[in-house]
Amino acid sequence: MIQLIILLLLVAGCPGAPIIFPSAEPPVAVQEPGEGLFQDAEYCYRRQAYRQALEKYIAYRERYPKGPHLLQANLREAEVLGLMGDWGRSLATYERLLAVAGLEPAVSLKARYGIGRASFKMGNYQKAIQVLDSLTAADLPVSLRFSTNALLAEIYLKQGRIAAAFARLRIAASDLPAGDQEWFDDIKARLVEAATPAELENLANLYRDSPLSAVLLLRLAQTAREAGHRAEAQKWVEILKERFPESKEAAQAERLLTGQKLLVGCLLPLSGEFAKPGQNVRQGMELAAQGTILSLRWKDCPADPGGAAQAVRDLAQEEGLVAILGPITSGSAQGAAQAAQAVGIPLIALTQKTEVTQVGNLIFQAFLSAQAQVRELVRYGTANLGIKNYAVLAPESSYGRTFSQLFREELNVANGELVTMETYPSGCRDFAGVLEPLIALGNNNPDLPPFEALFIPDDLGAVALIAKQLAATPLKQVRLMGTNLAHPAEGQEEQVRNVDGLIFTDAFYAGDPNPAVGQFLDAYRRQFGEAPDYLAAQGYAIVKMLVSLLEAEPTVTRADLPQKLLECKNFPDLPWFRGFSPERLAEISIYILTIEEGRAKILFGPTDYQVRP
């Protein structure tokens, strides 16, 4: 049912190769043996298609044992094995590489780091510490020096050795400009969370002048306040402000003592026909805001531009309001955006309508867009499956027309061919007559279907009926493709049985093995007694992102917020949300999913983007 509601709501990676203009007399390039294979592997690696990359790196190593990229292929192979979770083979590959006689020092250092990392991942902390500690004595490139010390901090933290972890993290901080800020912040947050008040105080005294000590003092103030010891909390705040007056922690401490929260308006349909999706978004937002500096102010949003604009103006009167989230319907998005731009309040619209950002520089969009879905689906079909010829069968609706047009455009970019495009009345459930033109094409040459994939931008019920009727035709082997509307929900077991092999997109998948997704699922179920859908996940992601930004910089104003939003990238606990593009559109990690044995499974998803040093 929720997919049908989303359909009503929404009716309104890897970039393509650049165009190269050759010179009048292009030079004749002599390609090294295996160069094409290695570059193919690198392309897959950059796109995070790790299974395909691994196959190509291994093929290069086996076919070209003296190739110029052999060492790099070995390093990549070991890294990709780890990224895929096979740390045993990763370790063996690094050790095999390190045994090569006369190995280049730069490659040797990377292989030693890889051995330390693989040992850590396999739980052999002692070996990992031994390898990495010896590595720190070498003359390391700055980025590798950061990664080595950060990884040692990670290992010590796993062992509960707080002081040793902090000491290594402090060393890593000096190389942070060449390191991974996200990873550093994540270790720091987990370290102060794990430390006891006595450990925090000892470290704060030992490293009194280290800027990293500011977070220790803030945590001491927080724990004292949570325990009801206000005077002690005040003491730590004063020490923090005295030692690090210009730090973001000092600004956070002020808010901690006063209990002042930052106000964010939420413009959602809380009544009427869209109340259910509005409630799902609200629940995700509430979960993300618990125990944070954010206070959410709810406003029921009418599904018309005028009512939405008035709701924005009402919210803008709230003292201290820094931003508005919503609305979620395309019909209300434009009016809300225009009103927000006029009154000078940043607004993040949770709608598929990407054009809404054209209203002005204060307007952002954060929702799974039709263009993003189609782009990733076509790329996966052409690059990963090698499909060249496609057909489209779409409903005669705004949704169907939008997706059909975008599919045609993306095929042009990907050098795919659209063999034919057919339509059917929206809501159709008898496809016998509709399928005749497609089947006739297949009858012309039963051994070689005229197209390899059929794109159907409709809900799972329609896709399943079409698949069932195609099963007895020459097109039974054609690959079916769909949008997030085809994502199976509870109670759709019958339809799922008919669509084995279907490939479709979505921006949230409850079966993702990423620990961050599992933590969100568990917390949501505990809070609301049900599983979250994409709408709940999107509400959670947007508020969680704001919490991350505003807790780090609590003095941000309405005027500052748009630029800060553009600077926010990659969140460890939000694998499906990567930030905003310069055009203020959400950069969402899209899942490519399939149906296998009656269940949705990942072919490619946000977990593949989690590249850690």
User: Which carries the bigger pLDDT value, residue 600 or residue 362?
Assistant: 362
- Predicted confidence (pLDDT) at residue 79 exceeds the cutoff of 60: yes
- Predicted confidence (pLDDT) at residue 68 exceeds the cutoff of 70: yes
Domain ranges of the chain: 195-258, 262-365, 370-506
As a whole-number percent, the residues of the chain with pLDDT over 70 amount to: 91
- Predicted confidence (pLDDT) at residue 571 exceeds the cutoff of 90: no
Match domain 262-365 to its CATH number in 3.65.10.10, 3.40.1190.20, 3.40.50.460, 3.40.50.2300. 3.40.50.2300
- Predicted confidence (pLDDT) at residue 291 exceeds the cutoff of 50: yes
pLDDT tens string 415-469: 899 999 999 998 888 888 889 999 888 666 666 778 999 999 999 999 999 999 9
Of the candidates 195, 173, 194, which has an alpha carbon nearest to the alpha carbon of residue 184?
173
Give every CB contact of residue 206 below 8 A, 6+ residues apart in sequence. Answer: none
* DSSP letter (8 states) at residue 355: G
CB contact at 8 A, 323 and 317: no
Scanning 414-555, the segments in alpha helix (DSSP H) are: 432-443, 460-470, 493-496, 515-528, 534-552
The confidence score (pLDDT) of residue 606 equals 66
CATH topology match: 195-258 vs 370-506 = no
The confidence score (pLDDT) of residue 610 equals 40
Q: How far is CA 104 from the centre of its chain?
A: 36
pLDDT tens string 140-189: 999 999 999 999 999 999 999 999 999 999 999 999 999 988 789 889 98
pLDDT tens string 100-127: 878 899 999 999 999 999 999 999 999 9
The confidence score (pLDDT) of residue 259 equals 65
Q: What end-to-end distance do the CA atoms of the chain give, in Å?
A: 42
Among 4-8, 71-75, 197-201, 543-547, name the one with the lowest average pLDDT: 4-8
Of the candidates 284, 275, 347, which has an alpha carbon nearest to the alpha carbon of residue 311?
347
Place of tokens 């803008």: 316
The confidence score (pLDDT) of residue 243 equals 94
pLDDT tens string 477-504: 899 999 999 998 777 777 788 899 999 9
The dotted CATH code for 195-258 is 1.25.40.10
The confidence score (pLDDT) of residue 289 equals 92
Give every CB contact of residue 215 below 8 A, 6+ residues apart in sequence. Answer: 188, 192, 249
CATH class of 370-506: alpha beta
* Mean pLDDT, range 269-273, rounded to an integer: 91
CB contact at 8 A, 299 and 308: no
CB contact at 8 A, 543 and 524: no
* Mean pLDDT, range 122-133, rounded to an integer: 95
- In sign, the C-alpha dihedral spanning 40, 107, 84, 544 is negative
The model's confidence at residue 548, banded by pLDDT at 50, 70 and 90, is confident
- Predicted confidence (pLDDT) at residue 603 exceeds the cutoff of 50: yes
Half-sphere exposure of 597 (CA within 13 A, CB side): 2
- Predicted confidence (pLDDT) at residue 24 exceeds the cutoff of 70: no
Among 270-284, 349-363, 573-587, name the one with the lowest average pLDDT: 573-587
Calculate the average pLDDT of the chain: 87
